[in-house]
């Protein structure tokens, strides 16, 4: 459902659209699915989704702001269905964007999949962030430290934390049956962020652009299973995550 909502939003992203349109769409689809948006009211968060434009990294508010050609917009959405949370995010291009913005989006999504490939039982949870960081820095970009991925289940944020960088210490081993949200936030410039006056919107300190991709992943005997693939799907991506790709 979360992935289908992101697909529906992707279809209406274009120059001139107010970002509040995405919020309305998300709420309408939640009503149709008879599910609750997971973010609304969470720690006082006032919307169903997060909408972060250009230098906004995460937790931006939808608003009357009109998207412009060349913007990139990150949409983060979660729902609660039968007591369990699903959480996913993607960054979309608004019309034609710069080559740098395209590369930022591609590298961030590729880094997400590099992290997913590490999400198998017995592996250190920090291997995920190590793979993400390696790919991102090899491309000349940076990973945000301030926010991390997380276990996801009956609550949106559960243990373990899933950083997008390699911490100095060892982490705990991943186990079959765990469900985690992997969500690299990648910046063109500094990875330092500021929080705006609204107490939510995280922006890059140098105000250069950022991208954000997130999937909810189950650790299974067959390896990582992406739970937030839409009905429309991305078969070429789903196929990336098979056993041949994650043998350690
Ligand atoms: N995907 C984000 C996260 O994992 C969504 C949280 S936004 C909030 O933290 F508003 F709900 F906090
Ligand atoms: Co999340």
**H-assigned helices in the chain:** 2-12, 20-33, 99-116, 126-138, 235-240
Closest atom, ligand 1, to C-alpha of 76 = 1
206 vs 222: CA distance, rounded Å: 42
Q: Tell me the whole-structure pTM to 2 decimals.
A: 0.94
Q: What is the largest CA-CA distance in the chain?
A: 48
Instruction: At 150, list the tokens.
Output: 């997380």
Give the DSSP letter string of 142-171.
EE-SSS-EEE-SSSSSEEEEE-SS--SS--
CATH number at 2-247: 3.90.230.10
- For ligand 1, residues with CB inside 6 Å are 39, 42-43, 45, 50, 59, 76, 87, 89, 150, 181, 183, 214
- Ligand 2 centroid, distance to 43 Cα (angstroms): 14
Q: What's the pLDDT at 49?
A: 99
Please write the tens of the pLDDT for every residue from 111-129.
999 999 999 999 999 999 9
What are the residue ranges spanned by the domains of the chain?
2-247
Q: How far is the CA of 102 from the centre of ligand 1 (A)?
A: 24
Residue 241 has pLDDT above 70, yes or no: no
191-100-226 Cα angle (round to 5): 70
């Amino acid at each position: 459902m979360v992935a289908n909502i992101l697909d529906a939003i992707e279809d209406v992203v274009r120059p001139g659209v107010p970002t509040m349109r995405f919020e309305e769409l998300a709420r309408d689809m939640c009503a149709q699915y008879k599910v609750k948006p997971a973010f609304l009211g969470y720690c006082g968060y006032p919307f169903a989704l997060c909408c972060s434009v250009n230098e906004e990294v995460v937790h931006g508010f939808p608003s009357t702001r009109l998207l412009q050609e060349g913007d990139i917009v990150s949409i983060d959405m979660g729902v609660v269905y039968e007591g369990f949370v699903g959480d996913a995010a993607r960054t979309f291009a608004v019309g034609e964007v710069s080559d740098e913005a395209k590369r930022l989006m591609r590298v961030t999504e590729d880094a997400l999949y590099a992290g997913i490939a590490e999400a198998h039982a017995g592996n250190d949870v920090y291997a995920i962030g190590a793979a993400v960081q390696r790919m991102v820095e090899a491309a000349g970009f940076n990973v945000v430290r301030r926010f991390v991925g997380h276990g996801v289940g009956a609550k949106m944020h559960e243990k373990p934390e899933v950083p997008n960088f390699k911490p100095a210490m060892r982490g705990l081993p991943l186990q079959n049956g765990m469900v985690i949200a992997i969500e690299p936030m990648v910046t063109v410039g500094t990875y330092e962020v500021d929080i705006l006056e609204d107490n939510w919107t995280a922006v890059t300190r140098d105000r250069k652009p950022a991208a954000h991709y997130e999937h909810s992943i189950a650790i299974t005997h067959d390896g990582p299973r992406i739970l937030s693939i839409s009905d429309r799907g991305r078969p070429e991506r789903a196929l990336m995550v098979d056993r041949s790709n994650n043998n350690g």
